[in-house]
Amino acid sequence: MKLCRIALVGIAALLVMIERPSVAADPAEILIRQGVELRRSGKNEQALEKFMQAYATSHSPRSAAQLALCEQSLQKWMDAEGHLTEALEAPSDPWVNRNLDTL
């Protein structure tokens, strides 16, 4: 019985030490962050490429919304409307929900 407890504690310790994949390791998330930084620098055309890559990687509501916001800044109204509509169709998405007023 004591040996089982020791084994369980050892296994639990190993599980805690195992690296979990982080959100930052997600390719789409990396591209979105790069796009946001480019937009902050006023490089909307370059940001658009990053957001398009992120959207191609993951058709997430966040990637659609970021793409739409960038398209809007570049006056690509039809594209922006389509991607924004797609993002707003997921109001339960945590990122969309947090940014709903802006969207």
Q: CB of 66 within 8 A of CB of 78?
A: no
Residues 16-42: tens digit of each pLDDT: 444 444 445 799 999 999 999 999 999
Provide the b/e sequence for 41-78 (b: ≥16 CB within 10 Å): eeebebbbebbbbbbebbebbbbbbbbbbbbbeeebee
Ordered by where they begin, the domains of the chain are 25-98 (1.25.40.10)
DSSP H/E element including 49: helix 44-57
User: Model's pTM, two decimal places?
Assistant: 0.75
Residues 45-65: tens digit of each pLDDT: 999 999 999 999 999 999 999
Reference 70, options 94, 53, 90; nearest CA is: 53
How far apart CA 89 and CA 11 sit, in angstroms, is 43
pLDDT value at position 25? 75
Q: Report whether pLDDT(81) > 80.
A: yes
